[in-house]
Structures are given as structure tokens and as C-alpha cells.
Amino acid sequence: MQTQRVWKEWQFPAFVTAVYLFLYVPVVILMIFSFNRGDSPTYWLGFTTDWYAELFSSSEVYDALTNSIIVAATSVVLSIFFECVLCFLWANEWLRILVALILFRVGGSRDCYSRRIAGYFLCFITSPWYYYAYSWAYIDGFGLCGAYYLRTLQ
């Protein structure tokens, strides 16, 4: 009994360490190979910082960075705003029941409503998110931007 316990005590942190290695090994190797002299992803041909020099001298990188920051900042602000007001709504018992009734037209015990609303939001993840963007591109060219907002909101 005692030996089994000792073995288990040793095994558990080892397993967790292995999982963390699983998470970190690809990223660390990617970082190491960013200093590789060759452009092959598999052979190590010597140390260089040329790729970084090239990266910082290209204007596309700064354009991409600006776009990403704009999209990220606006989605953070908008989703925090909407989520705050939605939480406010859900905190109100009667409005929650009202929404559930409108959405599902069914009765049930009270704790069921919140679960149903959660299901209502969950079911939107089931179809690929970029499709919304695609259908919106027809209408006003809102494009991928809308899809990013949408994904953050979900």
C-alpha cells in the first residue's frame, strides 16, 4: 500500500510536467528555429538574426500590426460593453424568464431558463463562424471584421 502511494505521488507531477512539455515544446522549437540560417524548417544551419532584421525593415509587418491592434481594441471594447449589459439583463430574474419565454415559448422550472439561454448562445458556435462574414460580405462589405467581433462576442 505504502509503495503504491509513493509511486503515485511521484507519477502525478510527472504527468503534469509531461503535459506542460507537450504545450511548450512546439513553441520553443519554433522560437529556436527563428534564428536558423537556412530557410528550411528542419535543418539547423547556424545562428543568424537576419530574419528579424528583415522583419523589422518590412512595412507590411507594421500595417498588419496596426490592423490587428485596431480590430483587437474595438472588439474588446464592444464585447465588454455588450457583455456587461447582457449580464445586467440576466441578473434580473423576470427579464430572464421573459427572454426565455420569447425564445422558446416553453415553461419549466426556474433554473432551466438560464440553461436554455446558455444553449441558445452555444448553438451559434455550431456553424463555422466565417460563414457569417461571408453572408455579410454580400450586403455591405462588412467582411471579416464583423466575423472577428462576432467570434469575440461568442
Question: Under the rule (CB under 8 A), what is the footprint of other proteins?
Answer: 12-13, 15-16, 19-20, 22-27, 29-30, 33, 41-43, 81-83, 85-86, 88-89, 91-92, 95, 122-128, 130-132, 134-136, 138, 146, 149-150, 153
- Nearer Cβ to other proteins, position 113 or 149? 149
Minimum distance of other proteins from residue 65's CB (angstroms):
12
Provide the β-strand partners of residue 47. 36
CA distance 143 to 135: 9
> C-alpha cell of 113?
431558463
**Minimum CB–partner distance for residue 139 and other proteins (Å):** 8
Taking the least distance from each CB to other proteins, the nearer of 31 and 59 is 31
Q: How many CB atoms lie within 10 A of CB 141?
A: 9
Angle between helices 93-104 and 59-91 (to 10 degrees): 100
Task: Kindly report the number of other CB atoms within 10 A of residue 149's CB atom.
Answer: 19
Q: Quick check: helix, strand or coil at residue 71?
A: helix
Nearest approach in angstroms of CB 148 to other proteins is 11
Q: How far is the CB of 25 from other proteins (least distance, A)?
A: 7
State which residue, 59 or 127, has the beta carbon closest to other proteins.
Answer: 127
